[in-house]
Amino acid sequence: PGLDMGIAGAAWATVISKLILLILAAYVVKRQSQVKVHLLNREYHFPIIQELTKIALPSALGYSGAAMGFTVLNGLIQSYGTDTLAAFSMGNRLSDLLTQPQMGIGMALTSLIGQNIGAQQFDRAKAIFRRTNLIIGFISIISSIIIFLFKQNLLSLFITDMSNQNLWNQAIEYLMYSTFIIFFMGFFSSYNGVFQGMGKTNYSMFMSIGRLWLFRLPLIWLFSNFSNLGSTGIWISMLLSNGLTVLIAAFVYRKIDWNQLKKY
Per-residue model confidence (pLDDT) at position 137: 94
Q: How far apart are CA 104 and CA 203, in angstroms?
A: 19
Q: What local confidence, expressed as pLDDT, does residue 2 receive?
A: 61
| Residue 128 · residue 116 · CB < 8 Å | yes
What's the N-to-C CA distance of the chain in angstroms? 52
User: Cα(23)–Cα(29) distance, rounded to whole angstroms?
Assistant: 10
* DSSP symbol at 258: G
| Residue 48: per-residue pLDDT | 80
Which of 255, 242, 116, 260 lies closest to 184 in space, CA to CA?
242
Per-residue pLDDT of the chain (264 residues; tens, 9 = 90+): 566 777 888 888 999 999 999 999 888 877 776 766 666 666 777 888 888 888 889 989 999 999 999 999 999 999 999 999 999 999 998 888 889 999 999 999 999 999 999 889 999 999 999 999 999 999 999 999 999 999 888 888 877 777 788 999 999 999 999 999 999 999 999 999 999 999 899 999 999 999 999 999 999 999 999 999 999 999 999 999 999 999 999 999 999 988 877 665
What residues does each domain of the chain span?
Answer: 1-42, 46-260
- Please enumerate in sequence order all residues whose Cβ is within 8 A of that of 180, keeping only pairs 6 or more positions apart, or say none: 144, 239, 243
Return left, alpha or beta for 6; rule: phi > 0 is left, psi -120 to 50 is alpha, else beta: left
Separation between Cα atoms, residue 249 and residue 126, nearest integer Å: 15
Local structure of 231: helix, strand or coil: coil
Instruction: With both helix axes pointing from N to C terminus, report the angle between 165-198 and 201-209 in degrees, rounded to the nearest 10.
Output: 170
Instruction: Say how far apart CA 144 and CA 234 lie, in whole Å.
Output: 19
- Which of 218, 86, 82 shows the shortest CA–CA distance to 158? 86
SS3 243: helix
> Measuring CA to CA, how many Å separate 161 from each of 120, 165, 231?
58, 9, 20
Yes or no: say if 201 and 59 are a contact pair by the CB < 8 Å rule. yes
Q: Considering the entire predicted model, what is its pTM?
A: 0.86
Q: What DSSP state is assigned to residue 194?
A: H
Angle among Cα 66, 18, 188 to the nearest 5 degrees reads 30
Q: CB under 8 Å to 219, separation ≥6 — which residues?
A: 233, 236, 237, 240, 241
- Give the chain's length: 264
Please count the other Cβ atoms lying within 10 Å of the Cβ belonging to residue 251. 9
DSSP secondary structure, 187-242, as one string: HHHHHHHHHHHHT-HHHHHHHHHIIIIIIIHHHHHHHHHH-S-TTHHHHHHHHHHH
